[in-house]
Amino acid sequence: MSDKVEVISNQWGGDGHSTGYLTRAQLKQKLIELKPKATEELLKSDHTQINITRHQHARLIEIIENLEKLSPDVDDNDQRLIFWFDN
């Protein structure tokens, strides 16, 4: 983890734990994996069905686009989305 992210994580004290990251390349791979199921949900959609995969797919597109806007000249394998969990 970078020094900057470590400082932010440490601000959470004991709640800033279980850190992880995904590269932009990994996020794009997940997008490919979700697409068939998201399309299937769209085709079979009715008013009673919860379309979780479609929502995840749409949010992932938004996240990837925002990451690309932040660092358009950075290789997909060199940009990371860092996360951690708290209680």
Indicate whether 47 pLDDT > 80: no
Cα distances from 45 to residues 7, 30, 33, 69, in angstroms, run 45, 22, 19, 32
Sign of torsion over alpha carbons 42, 43, 46, 50: negative
Surface-to-core class of residue 57, CB atoms within 10 Å of its CB (0-12 exposed, 13-18 middle, 19+ buried): buried
User: For the chain, what are the domain ranges?
Assistant: 21-80
Q: What is the pLDDT of residues 48-68, one digit of tens each?
A: 556 677 778 889 999 999 999
pLDDT at 24: 97
Q: What is the pLDDT of residues 21-39, one digit of tens each?
A: 999 999 999 988 887 776 6
